[in-house]
Copies of this chain bind each other. A is one copy, B any other.
Amino acid sequence: MDHSYRPSLVQKDALGSGVLPFAGSDLVLSPSQWSSHVVGKISSWIDLDSEDETLRIDSETTLKQEIAWASHLSLQACLLPAPKGTSCANYARCVNQILQGSNNMQLWLRVPLVKPDDDSMDAKSVALVDSWETWNSFRLLCEHHSQLSVALDILSTLPSPNSLGRWFGEPVRAAILHTDCFLTNSHGCPCLSKRHQSLITGFFNHSIQIIVSGNSVHPKASVDANDNSGTNSQRHPLRPYLDYIGYLYQRMDPLPEQERFELGYRDFLQSPLQPLMDNLEAQTYETFERDAVKYIQYQRAVSKALLDRVPDEEASVKTIVLMVVGAGRGPLVRASLQAAEETGRKLKVYAVEKNPNAVVTLHALVKLEGWEDTVTIVSSDMRHWSAPEKADILVSELLGSFGDNELSPECLDGAQRFLKQDGISIPSSYTSFLQPVTASKLYNDVKAHKDLVHFETAYVVKMHNVAKLAPTQPVFTFTHPKHSDKEINQRYKKLNFIIPNDTGSAMVHGFAGYFDATLYKDVHLGIEPSTATPNMFSWFAIFFPLRTPICVDPGSTLEVHFWRCCGSTKVWYEWCVASPASSPMHNSNGRSYWVGL
């Protein structure tokens, strides 16, 4: 709309009959150009929470007219001006009405990364300096609508890294970089501070579009630049800024191969495997077997165990009985045999596998490799197999993203019957870890199912559009072999996460879960971020959602309870938040999510 347009004035002048054109002609672009190249910009004067009722009603009318015009042109998105002042309820109500009644148009709410101090003088707004809170209030009022996202206004001042980090869990679509946050380099050209550079790199990593905005404040730049095309005079005044952004993009390290491989999985929710109830498919075995790093760790663990168990002087006479329980198509059999070869120890291997389809491949492998004398294949569930002898070493790979979530404890309990009293289990222990995260994308994907079940399910997911709000903490630990039959596999843990003061308030959409396993002594394997085994791709993290996201204040404690519950036919988790406010109990009696025994 024309900047001076106000519905209340028009009505007085035009007396209701001849409505004047309220916007320029749409014929300057083709329909497909409008729908693919243009983001609408809603009039920046609108203020739906003004104390002035006329301005408020004018604003609502104009907003709805402009959105209708943008819809008419099939724009993909419109940029909404930042809420003015401290309250945004009426603005949010109006935008929510648009979203509820809408086509697929995205609405990008402008939010300044730091609220300018001189924005407003009254005492109230000083309290609300954190613009994230305005955004949070707005999106809560709009119920986390999936078509509502953020366009961040970047100014010269940046908040703390923790405060910035929150935005990587939010639906940020664009970053509007104002020319006055650029510095001047020795050539008089625009450049950015180190902190701004790393922020921009973060945006690139999260596919956030960069918009350069404002007047050219580096006039020398366009003059000094050597432009071989000779069309120097026609260069856009913001071109030097764009060139610099382009340079930052070019300069980025290429993605490691593993990350590139996992690109398609980013923030994509998968149901965890049910390895006991379902048999894996050949493709799944194929994928997991390619994880070389994992089997190198297993080989190292078996080697160390063999050396501990058989002194050099007995190497030629003593044969170690090693059972691979859950042998699949044989990767741990291979790793174990390689460990024997490496250490010069004699091995007798039982490969126990419950999936008859994998057993077919196992037989073929043994024949192909000529392992017939060493390896005995057993087609049985380890929990029910009557072993002909007891094992020195049990080797298994039954771990899920959250450690015990694929029922490794229950399976190894069953296998422990045929482990010698002083026998070794590889892994010897494993621990799960959790941390609270902002994850609006994941939350919305869960919510899209519109049922309780999906909010009470844990998901395997390559987390990317996520903000980690506190360091991980250990949850459940299992050790094998057990010392006593009395040890139960149910667990209960209360965790207190402290939200750093400089984060500001943040939204917890759920918990990211990981594991770390001790295979044998100092040989470990895991995905807990601070100790993760590099270049391993068998496990993504696990995500436990919250039915209602919980807002946490800076410096506050988030008290979380997790249970591992065991029934006669299934194992499940229950979880809840107890502070700052109590959530409902999630997954009571395993009603929504469980792993069958």
Residue interface mask A329-351, B partner, CB < 8 A = 1: 00000000000000000000000
Set of chain B residues within 8 Å of A57, measured between Cβ atoms:
488
28 A–B contact pairs at CB < 8 A?
A56-B492, A87-B494, A87-B578, A89-B494, A89-B561, A89-B578, A90-B492, A90-B563, A92-B576, A92-B585, A93-B563, A93-B588, A96-B588, A97-B588, A100-B588, A100-B589, A100-B591, A101-B589, A137-B578, A140-B581, A140-B583, A141-B576, A141-B578, A141-B583, A141-B584, A142-B584, A143-B585, A548-B548
Residue interface mask A190-211, B partner, CB < 8 A = 1: 0000000000000000000000
Q: In whole angstroms, how far apart are the Cα atoms of A561 and B49 in the complex?
A: 11
Contact B97 A589 (CB under 8 A): yes
Set of chain B residues within 8 Å of A582, measured between Cβ atoms:
136-138, 140-141
Residue interface mask A49-67, B partner, CB < 8 A = 1: 0000000110000000000
The smallest C-beta distance from A246 to any residue of chain B, in angstroms, reads: 39
- Among A136, A561, A563, A582, chain B packs the most CB atoms within 10 A around the CB of A582
The quantity of this chain's copies bound in the complex is 2
**Interface presence of A574 (CB below 8 A):** yes
Given contacts A56-B492, A143-B584, 7 further A-B contacts (CB under 8 A): A89-B494, A89-B561, A96-B588, A100-B588, A140-B583, A140-B584, A548-B548
**Interface presence of A73 (CB below 8 A):** no
Which A residues between 106 and 143 are near B, CB-CB below 8 angstroms? 136-138, 140-143
Closest B residue by C-beta to A590 = B97
Q: In whole angstroms, how far apart are the Cα atoms of A585 and B488 in the complex?
A: 47
Closest B residue by C-beta to A142 = B585
Q: In whole angstroms, how far apart are the Cα atoms of A492 and B488 in the complex?
A: 59
Contact A93 B136 (CB under 8 A): no
For the complex of A and B, the 7 pairs showing the least CB-CB separation, nearest first, are A140-B582, A143-B584, A89-B561, A137-B582, A100-B588, A96-B585, A89-B578
**Interface presence of A551 (CB below 8 A):** yes
Q: In whole angstroms, how far apart are the Cα atoms of A236 and B585 in the complex?
A: 44
Q: In whole angstroms, how far apart are the Cα atoms of A138 and B585 in the complex?
A: 10
Set of chain B residues within 8 Å of A588, measured between Cβ atoms:
93, 96-97, 100
Set of chain B residues within 8 Å of A138, measured between Cβ atoms:
582
The smallest C-beta distance from A83 to any residue of chain B, in angstroms, reads: 12
Set of chain B residues within 8 Å of A89, measured between Cβ atoms:
494, 561, 576, 578
Which A residues between 551 and 597 are near B, CB-CB below 8 angstroms? 551, 561, 563, 574, 576, 578, 581-585, 588-589, 591
Q: In whole angstroms, how far apart are the Cα atoms of A93 and B581 in the complex?
A: 16
Which A residues between 445 and 502 are near B, CB-CB below 8 angstroms? 488, 492, 494
Contact A93 B548 (CB under 8 A): no
